[in-house]
């Protein structure tokens, strides 16, 4: 798909770089620099350069250079030479700034609505504003939100509206609501609204990390997304919450028969040995999970024994598990040695146990 640029973004960028008051000179300079004639028109919001249809720019590195100048290019982008990818990245970055700074951006949203695929909105102070624009992005596949400075009353109403907004996004595959002070009281009506939608039939990545969700909230989310035969969720992230041992029993029961989950991140919760054992024990009947993080959950000798038994079955079951992170728990040196010997005897190197021996 050919991704056009946002006309005003491109115009503003070129205006600031060329700093020309003469439209004819600007046209000439553009033609000389890039080798094509460009459509330049007047625009009410710009005094110098009004409108540039930058999709006609032949220099495929143009947007890559813009991203490099703004220090927002990633390692993945460095390896790309696709003009469309760089345009998309530039559009999404600029649009994110407009959405967050309360600018009047209706025109920009309308012109980019079909060409925005990923939005990462951190430090959102006006979720109502974001909700009003979200349904416009018909091809949005990944959305990350981090909400700040909102009371519980405000959050409750805006979260309900958020569900309606994302429910209209038929291409949404990944959703993250992180570090937003979400607790069980807020999550309960949120999930109730979710149950009126079919989001669980298309979402494959869910991230609710670094909130204040406890065992009850965890249960509600598991029931909606995973306690069903046709679940498609592949990644689940509840790191940095307040889930206790009973949550381990709930998840263990589900993952015994689950074939969709590939990544589970539960670091920095309150599972303890009891919850940790039930999750790890369940892995003996699961061959699809590849990554499990139970770091900083106060696991100790009881969990170490279960880990050793799990390792003994991985090869014969053709388990896909290749990363089990158990950092920062309460394993003794004896526990660590026991797990290391079990892993070595099975020819496996999948356990990360850093930060445990410091506790003994």
d(CA 187, CA 183): 6
The answer to whether residue 248 sits within a structural domain is yes
Q: What pLDDT is attached to residue 68?
A: 67
Q: What is the pLDDT of residues 281-302, one digit of tens each?
A: 999 999 999 999 999 999 999 9
Containing structural domain, residue 217? 74-359
- The predicted structure's pLDDT at residue 357: 65
Residue among 283, 273, 272 at smallest CA distance from 309: 283
- Please, what is the angle between helix 7-18 and helix 23-34, to 10°? 100
The count of structural domains within the chain is 1
The per-residue pLDDT for 17 is: 52
**Whole-angstrom Cα Rg for the chain:** 25
Structure tokens of 359? 């506790």
- 21, part of any domain: no
Q: The domain that contains 353 carries what CATH number?
A: 3.80.10.10
Are the C-beta atoms of residues 7 and 53 closer than 8 Å to each other? yes
Distances (CA, A) of 79 to 73, 75, 83, 86, 140: 10, 7, 12, 11, 23
Regions of the chain where pLDDT drops below 70: 1-84, 86, 357-360
Asked if the structure places residue 15 within a domain, the reply is no
pLDDT of residue 347: 77
Confirm whether 218 is domain-assigned.
Answer: yes
């Amino acid at each position: 798909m050919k991704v056009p640029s946002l006309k005003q973004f491109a115009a503003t960028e070129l205006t600031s770089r060329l700093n020309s008051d003469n439209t004819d000179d600007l046209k000439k300079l553009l033609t000389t620099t890039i080798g094509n004639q460009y459509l330049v028109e007047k625009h009410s919001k710009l005094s110098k350069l009004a409108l540039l249809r930058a999709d006609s720019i032949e220099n495929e590195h143009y947007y890559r250079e813009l991203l490099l100048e703004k220090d927002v290019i990633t390692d993945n982008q460095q390896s790309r030479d696709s003009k469309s990818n760089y345009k998309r990245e530039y559009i999404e970055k600029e649009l994110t700034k407009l959405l967050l700074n309360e600018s009047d951006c209706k025109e920009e949203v309308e012109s980019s609505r079909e060409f925005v695929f990923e939005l990462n909105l951190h430090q959102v102070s006006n979720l109502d504003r974001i909700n009003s624009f979200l349904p416009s992005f018909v091809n949005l596949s990944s959305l990350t939100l981090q909400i700040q400075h909102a009371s519980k009353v405000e959050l409750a109403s805006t979260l309900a509206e958020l569900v309606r907004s994302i429910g209209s996004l038929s291409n949404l595959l990944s959703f993250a609501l992180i570090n937003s002070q979400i607790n069980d009281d807020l999550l309960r009506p949120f999930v109730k609204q979710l149950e009126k939608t079919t989001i669980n039939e298309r979402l494959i990545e869910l991230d609710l990390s670094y909130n204040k969700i406890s065992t009850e909230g965890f249960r509600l989310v598991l029931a909606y997304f995973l306690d069903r035969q046709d679940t498609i969720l592949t990644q689940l992230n509840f790191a940095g919450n307040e889930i206790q041992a009973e949550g381990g029993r709930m998840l263990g029961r589900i993952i015994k028969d689950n074939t969709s989950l590939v990544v589970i991140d539960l670091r920095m919760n309150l599972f303890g040995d009891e919850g940790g054992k039930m999750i790890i024990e369940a892995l003996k009947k699961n061959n699809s999970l590849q990554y499990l993080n139970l770091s900083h959950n106060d696991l100790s000798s009881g969990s170490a024994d279960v880990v050793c038994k799990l390792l003994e079955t991985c090869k014969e079951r053709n388990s896909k598990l290749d990363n089990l992170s158990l950092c920062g728990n309460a394993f003794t040196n004896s526990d660590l040695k026991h797990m290391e010997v079990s892993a070595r005897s099975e020819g496996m190197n999948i356990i990360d146990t850093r930060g445990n021996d410091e506790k003994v």
